Structure 1
Amino acid sequence: MNPQPASTPPRAIAWPSVLTVISAAILIGAEVFGAAFAGGWALAILFGLNDTAAHILQAVLFGIGVLIMVAFIRTAQRIEPFFRRA
């Protein structure tokens, strides 16, 4: 028979860390997605693309922005842990 596994101590949410990361994500997200939209529009004009190509370019840059934000949140969570041992 296997002995009962030791229970892990309860984890509490570290609200100051969570709020810090969320606040930074909102600020950085606005900049990243604004740059993706404006950059797609500017590049479309620069290269003489039609509206459909401009929207596709904006969508691609928006997708890159999502990857940047995911990387930011993951890194920020390592620096500012969302949970602490109670």
Structure 2
Amino acid sequence: MNAQPSPTAPRRINWQSVVTVISAAILIGAEVFGAAFAGGWALGILLGLDNTSSHILQAVLFAIGVLIMVAFVRNAQRIEPFTRRA
């Protein structure tokens, strides 16, 4: 008998992997976005920027944080697949 699932078998969501990746993303996201806002604030003071410039710097660092989180979730999904064959 063939123990391998057929390639045409329906895919099912692997909830354990989904929850693991989402939990890690929440933890890492809190650190990344917290560092983005704190870093923007600190750099704004260090460079003598006004409030508007500091907020723009925070937004740029926030966007970089979004890119980091997207890359993290994509790589985590490669290691912990979200679907499996039924």
Distance (Å, rounded) in 1 between the aligned partners of 2:45 and 2:14: 46
Distance (Å, rounded) in 1 between the aligned partners of 2:58 and 2:25: 20
Instruction: Note if 1:28 corresponds to 2:28.
Output: yes
The aligned amino acid for 1:64 is I
The aligned amino acid for 1:72 is F
* Displacement of 1:8: 1.7
SS of aligned partner of 2:24: helix
2:4 corresponds in structure 1 to none
The CA RMSD measured in Å over matched residues stands at: 0.9
How many percent identity over aligned positions? 80
Superposed counterparts of 1:9-28, under 5 Å: 9-28=9-28
Tell me the matched-pair count.
80
> Per-residue CA shift, 1:7-60, capped at 9, x if unaligned?
821001001000000000000000000000000000000000000000000000
Structure 2: give runs of 5+ residues left out of the alignment.
Answer: 1-6
Moved runs in structure 1, 4+ residues, more than 6 A?
Answer: none
Superposed counterparts of 1:1-86, under 5 Å: 8-86=8-86
Distance (Å, rounded) in 2 between the aligned partners of 1:72 and 1:63: 14
Q: TM-score normalised to the size of structure 2?
A: 0.91
Distance (Å, rounded) in 2 between the aligned partners of 1:79 and 1:35: 26
Q: TM-score normalised to the size of structure 1?
A: 0.91
